[in-house]
Amino acid sequence: MEAVAQVLESEGVDTVFGIPGAAILPLYAALRKSGIKHLTVRHEEGGTHAADGWARATGKVGVTLGTSGPAGTNMITGLYTALADSIPIICITGQAPRSKLHQEAFQAVDIVEIAKPVTKWAVQLKEPGQAPWVFREAFRIARSGRPGPVLIDLPLDVQRGMCFYDPAIDAALPIALAEPRSEPVRAAIDMLLEAQRPLILAGGGVIGGEAWEELRDLAEYLQVPVQTTLMGKGAFPEDHPLFAGMAGIQTHTRWGNAAFLESDLVLAVGARFGDRHTGDLETYRRGRKFIHVDIEPTQLGRVFEPDLGIVGHAKPTLAALDAHARHRTPRHDPGPWAERVAELRGTLLRRDDFDDVPIKPPRVYRELNEVFGPDTTFVTAIGLYQIWSGQFQQTFRPRHYLVCGQAGPLGWEIPAAIGVKCAYPDKPVVAVVGDYSFQFLMEEIAVAAQYQIPFVIVMVNNEYLGLIRQAELGYDMNYAVDLHYGEGGIDHVKLMEAFGCPARRVEQPGEIADALRWATLEAEAAQLPVLVEIMVEREANAAMGPSLDNITEYEPVPDLVPAEAP
C-alpha cells in the first residue's frame, strides 16, 4: 500500500475523499505517511462526487476510497455519473481476505461484478506484486480514449502484502492521443467551405480534451459561429461575436434554437447528441448535414449516422482542421451568416428582469451573472434549476461551469463543489442547488465545515419537485411532488446554522444581489460554506418542448422580432 500511495502522488493526486473502515485500513496507514490530503466524507456517494468535482476542475484523475460491502455499493451512483459524463476517477474499495470471499464473510460483496456496467475497468487485486502496475494501468485507462471511472478492489490480505517497488525508476504510463486521418479532415474542410450557414457544436469532449484554443482558432479563421452543449458550456466564451447560443429542448436559448434550425451544416466535436439536446431527431436533422468528431469510434452513428465521421481526440483534430483550412483558403471576414446569428442573438431573448414577488427564477440567474465574475466556478446538478441555469447563466471560461449532464444525480452539487474548492482554494466557487437536491447529500456540509472549505450555496427553493411537477402537466395531475409542509417547509437557514454555517433567506428580488455579496464575504471571512436560500415562485415552469421548433414559453418574451431568414 505504500507503493500505491507513491503511485497516487506521482500521478498528480494531492487530495482524496473517503471513509475509513476495517477492510481498507492498510491503505489508510500508507496514506498517513504520504503527502496526500484526505477528507473524511459523510457518505461514499458524496466521496465519489467530490472526486468527480476535483477531476472536472483540474483535468486530472480524482480518487475516492471506502471500505468493503456497502461502501462500494454506495459508490455506484458516482461511478455511473462519471462514466456518463466522461470524467476520470478511481474508486478504491477494501475487501474481505481472499480466503473468505466464498464464505459470505461480513461485508464481502462482489463489487467488481456490480461495478462493471458503470466503469471502464473494474478489477480486484489478486497479488501484492500487482499493486503498482494495476494502479498505473487504472490511471492510464481512466485518462485514455473517452475518459471515465475505474474501480479497484483490495482484499485485506493483499493490502498487507509486500512488493518490490522503486518509485525513482517508475512513472505514469503513456497516453496515446487519437490523431485523425488526413483524408476525413480534408473532407470536413471541403464541407465547411461549401456550406452557407455552418455551425460548430462544441461538446464536453472539447473541455475534457482541453481543445478550447484550437476551437477558437478554427472558428475565427473561418468565421463559423459556435454553439455549445450543456457539457461543453465554457468551451467558447459567451461574449464572443461568434457565439451562437445553445440549442436543445431544455437547456437552450431561443436564439440558439433559431440559429441551429437555420444552419445547413453542423460540425459536432466531442458531443453525444443527447436526447435533451436533440429532441425530435427528424426536426434536429432536417435540412442540414453533420460532421461528427469523437475520440470513441462507437459514438459515431450511435444516435444517428453522420454525413462524415472522424475518429480523433478533440485537440489534435481541431488543430488539423485549422491547419488544413489555413492551407486551403484565406482568412474569412465576417459574412452574412455571422451577421444573421448576431441579429438572432439580439432579438430572440427571454426576460430575466422580473420584479415579481414571489421571485421568478430567471431573476435569480440575472443576479448571478451580475454579481459573480468570470473566474467564478459554478457547480449545478439536475432539475428545473439546471434548466434555468442553462438558459440564463453566462459562462466565459472552460472548467468554470460544472454540471452532471447525463446521469443527473440529485445531491451532486455540494460534494462536487467541495472537490472543486479543494483543487483551487483561492478561486470563488458557487453551488446552485434546488431545495430537494440539497437534501439528498446535505450531510456533506459537515465536511466543508470540518475542513474549513468556503464556498457559496445558492438555493432556488420552490418547495416542489419542480421538473417532475412540470412533466406531470401532460397527465393533468400534481401528484407526490409537493415538499411544502407546516408554515414554511424545512428551515434551511436553521439547518445550516446547526452545522455552524451562516445562512440567509431572501424573499424579495431586490435583496438577491446584496445577499450574494454578503455570502461571498462571509464565506471567506468564516472559511465556511454559506447558504443563500431564495424563495421563488412555487409553480414556475421552464421553457421546454419536444423539438427545437416546438418550445413552450411559460413567461412573456420581449417583443423583438428578427427579420425572416434569408
The per-residue pLDDT for range 506-520, each reduced to its tens digit, is: 999 999 999 999 999
Separate counts of helices (H) and strands (E) for the chain? 24, 19
Q: What is the pLDDT of residue 299?
A: 93
Q: Are 36 and 81 a contacting pair, CB within 8 Å?
A: no
216 and 134, same domain (yes or no): no
Q: Judge whether 137 lies within some domain.
A: yes
Q: Judge whether 559 lies within some domain.
A: no
514: domain CATH number is 3.40.50.970
Single-letter amino acid, residue 41: V
pLDDT (tens, 9 = 90+) of the chain, 566 residues, equals 999 999 999 999 999 999 999 999 999 999 999 999 999 999 999 999 999 999 999 999 999 999 999 999 999 999 999 999 999 999 999 998 888 778 777 667 899 999 999 999 999 999 999 999 999 999 999 999 999 999 999 999 999 999 999 999 999 999 988 999 999 999 999 999 999 999 999 999 999 999 999 999 999 999 999 999 999 999 999 999 999 999 999 999 999 999 999 999 999 999 999 998 999 999 999 999 999 999 999 999 999 999 999 999 999 999 999 999 999 999 999 999 999 999 999 999 998 899 999 999 999 999 999 999 999 999 998 888 889 999 999 999 999 999 988 887 889 999 999 999 999 999 999 999 988 888 889 999 999 999 999 999 999 988 765 555 555 556 566 666 666 655 657 889 999 999 999 999 999 999 999 999 999 999 999 999 999 999 988 777 888 899 999 998 888 888 776 767 66
Q: What is the pLDDT of residue 488?
A: 59
Grouping H, G, I as helix, E, B as strand and the rest as coil, residue 270 is coil
Q: Judge whether 563 lies within some domain.
A: no
Neighbouring-strand partners of residue 89: 62
Q: Judge whether 561 lies within some domain.
A: no
Grouping H, G, I as helix, E, B as strand and the rest as coil, residue 527 is coil
Q: Judge whether 227 lies within some domain.
A: yes
365 and 343, same domain (yes or no): no
31 and 86, same domain (yes or no): yes
342 and 366, same domain (yes or no): no
- Alpha-carbon separation of residue 140 from 206, 308, 474 (angstroms): 20, 29, 47
377 and 455, same domain (yes or no): yes
pLDDT in tens, 125-177: 999 999 999 999 999 999 999 999 999 999 999 999 999 999 999 999 999 88
Q: Judge whether 25 lies within some domain.
A: yes
Give dist(CA 343, CA 341) in Å, integer. Answer: 5
Grouping H, G, I as helix, E, B as strand and the rest as coil, residue 500 is coil
- Of 119, 139, 169, the one marking the end of a domain is 169
317 and 415, same domain (yes or no): no
What does pTM read for this prediction? Answer: 0.93
Q: Are 86 and 148 a contacting pair, CB within 8 Å?
A: yes
Q: What is the dihedral of CA 261, 265, 268, 269, to 10 degrees?
A: -140
Q: What is the pLDDT of residue 490?
A: 81
470 and 381, same domain (yes or no): yes
Domain range for 343 is 182-347
Give dist(CA 382, CA 393) in Å, integer. Answer: 15
Cell of 492: 434551511
431 and 335, same domain (yes or no): no
163 and 191, same domain (yes or no): no
248: left (phi over 0), alpha (psi -120 to 50) or beta: left
- Of 148, 169, 190, the one marking the end of a domain is 169
Q: Are 415 and 444 a contacting pair, CB within 8 Å?
A: yes
Q: What is the pLDDT of residue 566?
A: 64
241: domain CATH number is 3.40.50.1220
183 Cβ contact list (under 8 Å, min separation 6): none
Single-letter amino acid, residue 79: L
Q: What is the dihedral of CA 460, 465, 470, 472, to 10 degrees?
A: 180
Count of structural domains within the chain: 3
Give dist(CA 312, CA 209) in Å, integer. Answer: 11
Q: What is the pLDDT of residue 496?
A: 95
Could you please report the per-residue DSSP string of 232-249?
A: TTTSS-TTSTTB----SS
155 and 206, same domain (yes or no): no
Q: Judge whether 549 lies within some domain.
A: no
Q: What is the pLDDT of residue 466?
A: 54
397 and 288, same domain (yes or no): no
Sheet holding 62-66, edge to edge: 37-40, 15-18, 62-66, 89-95, 150-155, 121-124
Q: Judge whether 547 lies within some domain.
A: no
- Of 169, 202, 235, the one marking the end of a domain is 169
- Alpha-carbon separation of residue 138 from 317, 422, 502, 554 (angstroms): 26, 23, 40, 48
88 and 134, same domain (yes or no): yes
